[in-house]
Homo-oligomer: A and B are copies of this chain.
């Protein structure tokens, strides 16, 4: 994936934030990790729209940006866990506001669906 899409001239703060969280699945990963440490497999199940390949790529970038950390337990079979770093946890307000908005949006859509049902 190409990094540094935004050059954040005039230091636009929103572009800076996007620099870190704008991957296709990054904020979703962070969202799930806010809930606690997860294994690769856990994330795969939580985000079934996201292919294993994409999950792997996005995790790698988050790792490189210091947002998450990875721990490998050399058991057989191997066990890996991902968690937010302290830095990653500073993104909580951002992800939480996205969560809050999404909840509101989903309720809106549910009620619109009900209206359509009634209109039939």
Contacts and interface: CB of A to CB of B under 8 A. Distances in A.
B17 A49 contact: no
The copy count of this chain in the complex is 2
Contacts of A17: 98-99, 101-102, 105
Interface residues of A, number: 38
Interface of A: 5-9, 11-18, 20, 22, 24, 27-28, 31, 47-49, 90-91, 93-106
8 contacts: A5-B24, A7-B49, A12-B47, A14-B27, A15-B49, A16-B105, A16-B106, A93-B101
Given A13-B99, A17-B101, A18-B28, 11 more contacts: A12-B47, A13-B98, A13-B100, A13-B103, A14-B28, A14-B102, A15-B49, A15-B102, A17-B102, A18-B27, A94-B97
